[in-house]
Amino acid sequence: MKYSFRTIIVAFTLFAVLVAPNLGNSQEDPLPSKDPAVFKAQLLQFVQLTRKNLREIQALPVDDSSPIDQSLINSAHYAYALIRSALHGMDLALEQQTYKDPTLILAKKRVEQAWNLARFPAQSPSVSRAEWVSQSVQNLTQALRLVQQAQAILP
């Protein structure tokens, strides 16, 4: 069978337009929810993923000889998206309440601090590898502590 050059170009273009943009987006950003079960699950998933990311970051060589694996950056970004979504869900839950639950407010403050710390490793490194590794380990370790405290506070 012979295919014309035009048919091959059309098929390739269709592939590029329909399929290729979705190849890198295997994980969509999680959606926020005011349901405590949802934001608690997102916080749990953040803890699990951040522990894995932390191990991978600690295993990186500190020299700049090779680039940081993009899957690690993507994983850190997804963990950041999880905590951002959980924080937004906590905000929604608080907005709905007529009497503000003090335990939810306290937990939200800790999650907000952790959210700020989780941002650094989620961004592509703009500093030396050694500094990025050191700062990421420090930030993620503290973020894990804060989220675990928030999980203990939440009813």
Q: For residue range 131-150, what is the model confidence (pLDDT) as tens digits?
A: 999 999 999 999 999 999 99
Neighbours of 132 (CB within 10 A): 21
Handedness of CA 29, 151, 118, 79 (dihedral sign): negative
Domain layout of the chain by residue ranges: 29-153
Q: Which of 139, 147, 149 is nearest to 111 (CA)?
A: 147
Percentage of the residues of the chain whose pLDDT score is greater than 90: 68
Helix 129-153 / helix 36-58 crossing angle, nearest 10 deg: 150
Q: Can you list the residues of the chain whose pLDDT is less than 70? A: 1-27, 124
What CATH number labels 29-153? Answer: 1.20.120
Please state, rounded to an integer, the average pLDDT across all residues of the chain: 86
Q: How confident is the model at residue 18, as a pLDDT?
A: 46
Q: Amino acid letter at 70?
A: Q
CB 42 within 8 A of CB 154: no
Q: Report the C-alpha gap between 84 and 40 in whole angstroms.
A: 12
Dihedral class, residue 7 (left if φ above 0, else alpha if ψ from -120 to 50, else beta): alpha
Query: What is the pTM for the complete model shown?
Result: 0.80
Q: Are 147 and 80 in contact (CB under 8 A)?
A: no
